[in-house]
Structure 1
């Protein structure tokens, strides 16, 4: 750690050598972040960041270490990219934003990081409080009055694992260490730090901390007797079912679950998976449809999952045994939440699965043949029927999914955010390699195209393919996304599922009013302009290659050409025009 960077003290720490300038708090934060293994700082800078800009220069000039600075034109890109990076690296990344307005611009990406349980350290400035000019960093612009909010930390407070203000420069390294420790302890999540401009400018003389004293808390295991109880229950069941969403954040856990399922004979269902939780081609994988087999299984193990089924749609058998093993078993950050379980454990799922796998297999493997037969029948029953081939060489979601599957290789990483196409796409792709698939753990749209940047930076050899709905693409501020991807060498192939509007509100409406006026009139106020050319936004912002395809016969050739472009180091965006979801033309009078 280079302690001579970013120096411009306004006062000396007690006992400091007058000939040795001390680093500012901003510089100390940067060098400490590098020592902690933070790879990137995704940032949109403002008037509260002069100390950081000076520190960037001083550290570079002195050959010191700091994370890579990734400038993002919009904060949605910044935190979403940090989110994507952490999903792959499992290390918190840093996001540096501007006072209250920059924090507000993080928007739904804060929700996504919290619900996705990914570690992130968000650092925001505070307006300077001093006005006389005697302290470095005092107020110099009118916005230092208008941006001085009274409760800035409350903007996203309910989504943060911890919020804190750096009030003394010499404590900045310890505050950062505690931030990373909290963010990285399971269940992981974002933390929020603030500091006034004057504090970042102050000298931060303090002894270096031992990193060994600030480790994340190790995940728990469950007592041996409980492991035996769960194992016995699985072996004695006739129709056991595992339902999971985010087990695969640890790739090894997906492999262990696959082996345990094979050994005992357990059906595995992934619901809105955020990772590959079990290889999609596993012989006991029963698909991705929520509510599947819930009313048939005589044992359900909820395993790292938020919403295992929809209570209004299906219920477990009255005699079913229900168990819940989760890194976040109580979901304390959510409002009302409850799914019944006779035993609930908050523990490290990988460790517990390994405990189960380490137990000896009972003689004659009781009931396994019957369980495997049930799973085989369930797989056949749950297979998705083919969609009818559209007329006039049009494209449906199945055709698009099959074309995408022909692109997949051992380097492919799929980033997915097309909510209403989830079931069809996942059933078609059946991603099997742990670490080859990522999706948003929250519901803040616009995540995927930006998360792809972080995933590519964390895994430079990956061929990142982003599958995104037209609405999610627009919410992602693509003018920011592709500028960052081009600037920092993180090309992606983006495939836009353009069905002419936002399908999710239509689906929600029909779930509540299946035979209502909206269905009769085909008017949902969700359609978009037919003249919009979404891929051209990326071309204008950063020179990405833009494609548009409306005919199934041209789909494969277009996607292959786009992938070759990405392999050459340039992002490509393919806007695929699928069957429209409504005939309504916004702005026009009803027919």
Structure 2
């Protein structure tokens, strides 16, 4: 097939091509997309840039939009760099669904771009309306679908704005607290010729936080030195991997206990003697000083409150949580600050005051570990495999190359408590409530760290919500193999438990009628295999478990994704729709 001659450097690009060029110059490495009728300018730009050998983000085509943003989410968790997500007008934006919530709650940077229906009906305008759907997809307020979750929404109204608008989008996504941004443009705008870029990249610096002011720092240091039962609670301090070592050093210097609450990064080594577990509300009523560091929900108000007279400090990149509605946890001092820098500041002060009560604090930590140690019980028995037993088997697979992603809501405290991961960057979780993140985020994690062995632990609902027909096709097509282990209890345990909490003696509990056995009996291994991108395995009994997990990991090491469907005891005996 003949090729067009290579075009010269003085060719002015379209707005779509300019966006790709600018993103590439900003370090954006991937474009995750599901293309539509609003994207001819982008498809043309892909072909031109490829033909001319010019740099552009690597294109990852995803059959479903849940994969696009979730994969970008996973990539950003590892690198802290935003990737490009390109979706199709209002319907593609809607298909992003829960991944938008997840990116916002997880404070990960991403640049989401969507087309708008063309407005021109003049046949002489490139990209004008010429299809039926251009009328039905013309949503009056398309950005309103996602704007409450975005740091910034903007419409590219003229091609000459492209360079500056893209740089501003990148700047806002990367500035702390990080998050997704949403950029739109009509089809004919993307086709229009862009102005030459202004060589002013150095003028688009990312806004960052600093540490504490001297007086605030001294007050916090003094409070830590005087406390007898100091406790740190954190969820996402580990988004900066260097912070983990700083927290370890501070904990050891002062004798501070640390709780990780629903961690979506590794924040503190799970095997450290000062680690006090993953149970929310633990020790809140005992501590005389609570230092909340990068955490959204430090305890549940209806279940526990800090001890009377306890001092509470809050250091966070997002301390007031304006993206959340009703939210308040009492703190005498609340600082919007870079937690890594604050830890370094504390470590830079003289340690003499820290020694006076250290032995007493260490004794409290030792007793707290003993009193609150999780009791999981032994393996074995004649019944079905238990989630605890499965997690212990997973632990045998973990090595120095492992990165574990967890999305199993009803086992979210048990799994990290058994795995006890200890290496910064080795553990990730979804901070949002939009299930379906895990199998797709694993793609981004693998692309960001090709040498890692990525293991994804999913509930059966999370597997289904993740659009496996898309996730595993992408994993296979773009060489991002990872091991998925499904905790398959035949339904949604979380709504069942919520019902039991609220109505412990109600008819649903008495009759075992919860209507949660969605997807029961689905052959998840076959679903994964049907994509052509994964090998499926099924485990029905404990005698198969270890050997099958090892075989599946060997499959991943050979370059192909693997899904292991592990059948656990059913969450309910109710049979639906029969």
SS at match of 1:410: coil
**Hey, what does 2:173 align to over in structure 1?**
183
Q: Distance in 1 between matches of 2:224 and 2:5?
A: 59
- Relative to structure 1, is the Cα distance of residues 391 and 283 closer, same or farther in structure 2, using a 3 angstrom cutoff? closer
Give a deviation string over 1:7-38, Cα, whole Å, max 9, x none: 8xxxxxxxxx9x94311111100011100000
| Contact 2:225/2:354, CA 8 A, preserved across alignment | no
**Hey, what does 2:573 align to over in structure 1?**
583
- Relative to structure 1, is the Cα distance of residues 5 and 58 closer, same or farther in structure 2, using a 3 angstrom cutoff? farther
Give a deviation string over 1:544-567, Cα, whole Å, max 9, x none: 111110211221111000000000
More displaced, 490-499 or 541-550? 541-550
- Alignment partner for residue 549 of structure 1, among 528, 539, 543? 539
| Contact 2:475/2:533, CA 8 A, preserved across alignment | no
Shift >4 Å, 4+ stretches: 4-7
| Contact 2:163/2:197, CA 8 A, preserved across alignment | no
Give a deviation string over 1:406-434, Cα, whole Å, max 9, x none: 00001000011001111111110011000
Q: How many Å apart are 1:390 and its aligned residue?
A: 5.6
Verify: 1:172 aligned to 2:162, yes or no.
Answer: yes
- Relative to structure 1, is the Cα distance of residues 39 and 382 closer, same or farther in structure 2, using a 3 angstrom cutoff? same
Q: Distance in 2 between matches of 1:103 and 1:6?
A: 35
Q: Distance in 2 between matches of 1:309 and 1:291?
A: 5
Verify: 1:84 aligned to 2:74, yes or no.
Answer: yes
Verify: 1:139 aligned to 2:129, yes or no.
Answer: yes
**Hey, what does 1:70 align to over in structure 2?**
60
Q: Distance in 2 between matches of 1:20 and 1:389?
A: 69
SS at match of 1:542: coil
**Hey, what does 1:339 align to over in structure 2?**
329
Q: How many Å apart are 1:132 and its aligned residue?
A: 1.5
SS at match of 1:479: helix
| Contact 2:6/2:52, CA 8 A, preserved across alignment | no
Q: How many Å apart are 1:207 and its aligned residue?
A: 3.3
Q: How many Å apart are 1:5 and its aligned residue?
A: 12
5 Å matches for 1:26-65?
26-65=16-55
**Hey, what does 1:12 align to over in structure 2?**
none
| Contact 2:6/2:51, CA 8 A, preserved across alignment | no
Give a deviation string over 1:130-150, Cα, whole Å, max 9, x none: 002121000110100110110
Q: Distance in 2 between matches of 1:350 and 1:529?
A: 44
**Hey, what does 1:203 align to over in structure 2?**
193
| Contact 1:85/1:457, CA 8 A, preserved across alignment | yes
RMSD of Structure 2 on Structure 1 (CA): 1.5
Q: Distance in 1 between matches of 2:199 and 2:300?
A: 48
Q: Distance in 1 between matches of 2:493 and 2:530?
A: 27
**Hey, what does 2:461 align to over in structure 1?**
471
Q: How many Å apart are 1:513 and its aligned residue?
A: 1.0
**Hey, what does 1:353 align to over in structure 2?**
343
Q: How many residues align?
A: 575
Q: Distance in 2 between matches of 1:364 and 1:440?
A: 36
Q: How many Å apart are 1:529 and its aligned residue?
A: 5.1
Q: How many Å apart are 1:210 and its aligned residue?
A: 2.2
**Hey, what does 2:120 align to over in structure 1?**
130
Q: Distance in 2 between matches of 1:197 and 1:92?
A: 24
Q: Distance in 1 between matches of 2:191 and 2:526?
A: 43
| Contact 1:419/1:504, CA 8 A, preserved across alignment | yes
**Hey, what does 1:21 align to over in structure 2?**
11
More displaced, 355-364 or 569-578? 355-364
**Hey, what does 1:319 align to over in structure 2?**
309
**Hey, what does 2:98 align to over in structure 1?**
108
5 Å matches for 1:347-386?
347-362=337-352, 365-386=355-376
Where does structure 1 lack aligned partners over 5 or more consecutive residues? 8-16
| Contact 1:245/1:273, CA 8 A, preserved across alignment | yes
Q: Distance in 1 between matches of 2:455 and 2:379?
A: 25
Q: Distance in 1 between matches of 2:508 and 2:253?
A: 50
| Contact 2:34/2:65, CA 8 A, preserved across alignment | yes
Q: Distance in 1 between matches of 2:103 and 2:208?
A: 21
**Hey, what does 2:222 align to over in structure 1?**
232
TM normalised by structure 2 equals: 0.98
| Contact 2:477/2:533, CA 8 A, preserved across alignment | no
Give a deviation string over 1:69-91, Cα, whole Å, max 9, x none: 00000000000000000000110
- Relative to structure 1, is the Cα distance of residues 404 and 563 closer, same or farther in structure 2, using a 3 angstrom cutoff? same
Where does structure 2 lack aligned partners over 5 or more consecutive residues? none
Q: Distance in 2 between matches of 1:529 and 1:165?
A: 40
5 Å matches for 1:142-157?
142-157=132-147
TM normalised by structure 1 equals: 0.95
**Hey, what does 1:484 align to over in structure 2?**
474
**Hey, what does 2:505 align to over in structure 1?**
515
Q: Distance in 2 between matches of 1:420 and 1:74?
A: 26
| Contact 2:490/2:521, CA 8 A, preserved across alignment | no
- Alignment partner for residue 151 of structure 2, among 151, 161, 178? 161
Q: Distance in 1 between matches of 2:568 and 2:521?
A: 15
- Relative to structure 1, is the Cα distance of residues 260 and 6 closer, same or farther in structure 2, using a 3 angstrom cutoff? farther
SS at match of 2:374: coil
Q: Distance in 1 between matches of 2:576 and 2:348?
A: 61
**Hey, what does 2:294 align to over in structure 1?**
304
More displaced, 232-241 or 538-547? 538-547
| Contact 1:412/1:436, CA 8 A, preserved across alignment | yes
Q: Distance in 1 between matches of 2:197 and 2:443?
A: 36
